[in-house]
Amino acid sequence: DVKVTQSSRYLVKRTGEKVFLECVQDMDHENMFWYRQDPGLGLRLIYFSYDVKMKEKGDIPEGYSVSREKKERFSLILESASTNQTSMYLCASRGGPVRGGDLGEPQHFGDGTRLSIL
Amino acid sequence: RKEVEQDPGPFNVPEGATVAFNCTYSNSASQSFFWYRQDCRKEPKLLMSVYSSGNEDGRFTAQLNRASQYISLLIRDSKLSDSATYLCVVRWGSARQLTFGSGTQLTVLP
Cβ contact A91:A34 at 8 Å: yes
A–B: how many Cβ contacts below 8 A? 59
Which range is least confidently modeled, A62-71, A95-104, B91-100? A95-104
pLDDT of residue B31: 78
pLDDT of residue B7: 87
Closest CA to B75 of B61, B89, B64: B61
Q: Please say if the pLDDT value at position A95 is more than 70.
A: yes
pLDDT grade, residue A104 (50/70/90)? low
Q: Please say if the pLDDT value at position A51 is more than 80.
A: yes
pLDDT grade, residue A99 (50/70/90)? very low
pLDDT of residue B23: 94
Average pLDDT over every residue of A25-52: 91
Closest CA to A117 of A14, A17, A7, A9: A14
Residue of B96, B99, B100, B104 to mutate for A, most A C-beta atoms under 10 A:
B96
Closest-CA distance of chain B to residue A4, Å: 11
Closest CA to A85 of A33, A32, A16, A5: A16
pLDDT digits (tens, 9 = 90+) for B33-49: 999 999 998 999 999 99
Q: Which of B43, B96, B102 sits opposite A90 (nearest CB)?
A: B43
| Contact B94/A at CB under 8 A | yes
- Taking the C-alpha atoms of residue A76 and residue A67, their distance in angstroms, rounded to an integer, is 7
pLDDT of residue B91: 87
pLDDT digits (tens, 9 = 90+) for B61-104: 999 999 999 999 999 999 999 999 999 999 877 777 888 999 99
Spatial strand order in the sheet of B19-25:
B4-6, B19-25, B70-75, B60-65, B55-57
